[in-house]
Structure 1
């Protein structure tokens, strides 16, 4: 569909979302985070190792305004979560972990109203990801891509994940950390340069 090549079930793609759900499940009974509805309803369609993700999302009443269309503020949360997850395939320990980045700016251009009940396609691509800053572009379209409802440019700052969140472990965390350690050792052997 969108050109991704990574298996969406691979830990580096699905892991950060699974970790988010694990952390959210620790909240008190009845507690609903502002972004939890979005994370629950996003349906992963495609992802790529270069920093690409694609989701489907049905715009339900929980995202509406009084005009029975998607509220602009809801679009902000939707883009925040969907574009951030495009960093998942690039994530490794201390580098763009899903719960470790914060939004610096999120610019949205609203091009047309999204009627309640519409299923949209959210496509996000990482334009740049450095040690401390990243920029991701997102687009919300009809499923066939013919209608563009909104676009986003998301700038993020990489910050250390808080200790409580870091304490949650998933089965593949050890594998991912071992791969990162191996890559770091290889870099040291090559005089500080990553192997190409």
Structure 2
């Protein structure tokens, strides 16, 4: 997903600033599984701050939107929760502790349920030692078709991905 995101973002005018670009460029993958779980580390940069020099609540929204959406990637297949995993229906955040600017956090996300049109992902933002939970999220998504211009941004493994799913659906064994 990150590689496709970068290809699409590179096609935009130089002065275009995506609201989510800072998040996508700074989340570092720590762990991922094939069952819809993913963990990242990210430093809360000054541009995510409020006047109290802690993370702004709106910044948590975009951080969670992107980090939880990526949990759907391992469940995606052609025609099912493709690139960027649909659109947000609701994003419910519980703020438990302020996150000081400069803090490195762990973002954990897990798909709780996924169907043809709806998905629900839970996540949390914690200290690296796991002792402090800064905030939690429940993210409901609605599946939408991939935009045609996004589908044109091909990454090296797209052909293999599509072939494996074709073989799975037709019962043909993969030789890869």
* Contact 1:100/1:160 (<8 A) preserved: no
- For the aligned residue pairs, the C-alpha RMSD in angstroms reads 1.1
* Contact 2:70/2:85 (<8 A) preserved: no
Instruction: Report the counterpart of residue 146 of structure 2 in structure 1.
Output: 161
For residues 42-86 of structure 1, the C-alpha deviation after alignment (integer angstroms, 9 at most, x for no partner) is 010000000010000100111000000000000000000000001
Distance in 2, Cα, partners of 1:23 & 1:97: 15
Unaligned runs of 5+ in 2: none
* 1:91 shift after superposition: 1.2
Instruction: Report the counterpart of residue 176 of structure 1 in structure 2.
Output: 161
Distance in 1, Cα, partners of 2:137 & 2:109: 9
Instruction: Report the counterpart of residue 5 of structure 2 in structure 1.
Output: 20
Is 1:125 the equivalent of 2:110?
yes
Distance in 1, Cα, partners of 2:14 & 2:66: 23
Partner of 2:18, secondary structure, is coil
1:70-85 equivalences under 5 Å are: 70-85=55-70
* 1:32 shift after superposition: 1.2
Distance in 2, Cα, partners of 1:23 & 1:78: 19
Unaligned runs of 5+ in 1: 1-15, 188-196
* 1:98 shift after superposition: 2.6
Instruction: Report the counterpart of residue 16 of structure 2 in structure 1.
Output: 31
Larger mean CA deviation between 106-115 and 95-104 belongs to 95-104
1:37-116 equivalences under 5 Å are: 37-116=22-101
* 1:100 shift after superposition: 4.7
Distance in 2, Cα, partners of 1:98 & 1:44: 17
Distance in 1, Cα, partners of 2:119 & 2:3: 22
Distance in 1, Cα, partners of 2:65 & 2:78: 21
Larger mean CA deviation between 90-99 and 77-86 belongs to 90-99
With normalisation by structure 2, the TM-score equals: 0.95
With normalisation by structure 1, the TM-score equals: 0.86
* Contact 1:84/1:98 (<8 A) preserved: no
Number of residue pairs aligned between Structure 1 and Structure 2: 172
